[in-house]
Structure 1
Amino acid sequence: MSSFVFFFIPTLIFLGLVLPLWLALYYASKWRTSKGLSEEEKQTLDAAMVEIQRLESRIETLETILDAEQPDWHTKNSAE
């Protein structure tokens, strides 16, 4: 009987206290590390930002050309 109690009580304490805490901390740390962007996602985002800046510059250039050729183009299009 004493050997049964000798193994049963530590096993019960481990399963009741240590294991749940261990699992909770393990998955909390996994969640924290996966919360950010991966390197591939960061590179894709940087490439998209460069493309957006290029397109914004192109739109500004086109608007400048339209302003020079037809000064009232913006008021015509905004009234429609």
Structure 2
Amino acid sequence: MEEIIIIPAIFIGLPWVILHYVTKWKTAATITTDDEALLEDLYSLAKRLDERMDTVERLVAHDNADFQPARIQHNKEADNVPLRELEEMLAAKKGERA
């Protein structure tokens, strides 16, 4: 009697559970177009804030000769490489949509 329950559970129930969670994992791993738009907005906001910080640091450095900015220096080549990569990825993404 137990075999009648165990055999269908192994051949029907177990694959069903596995396939169910595989499809759940695949759908959860993707980001939506709304998420992509939000990331683009956040990236542009971060760029604007970075430019504002550069402006503030320049103004303070102009008024105070002893001021040493603690942040990353503006337009330092090593710092701009990751930004350039992000901008290229965004441009490629926009090219795919068009």
Mark yes or no: TM-score above 0.5: yes
TM-score range, shorter chain: 0.5 to 0.7
Shift of the alpha carbon at 1:72? Answer: 1.9
Higher helix share: 1
Q: CA deviation at 1:74?
A: 4.4
Unaligned runs of 5+ in 2: 70-98
Deviation digits for residues 33-72 of structure 1 (CA, Å, limit 9, x no counterpart): 2122221112111101110110011100110111112122
Give the Å deviation of 1:11.
Answer: 8.8
Bigger drift between 31-40 and 45-54 goes to 31-40
Identity among equivalent positions (%) equals 21
Unmatched runs of 5 consecutive residues or more in structure 1: 1-8, 76-80
Distance 2:33 2:17 in 1: 27
Which structure: larger Rg?
Answer: 1
Task: Output one character per residue of 1:10-42: Cα deviation in whole Å (capped at 9) or x when no partner.
Answer: 997444312320231132122122122221112
Misfit runs of 4+, over 2 Å: 9-16
Partner of 1:40: 34
Say which of 5, 8, 14 aligns to 1:20: 14
The TM-score, its normalising length taken from structure 1, stands at 0.63
Partner SS for 2:31: coil
Q: What is the TM-score when the length of structure 2 is the normalising length? A: 0.54
Name the structure, 1 or 2, with higher relative contact order (CA <8 Å, separation 6+): 2
Aligned length: 67
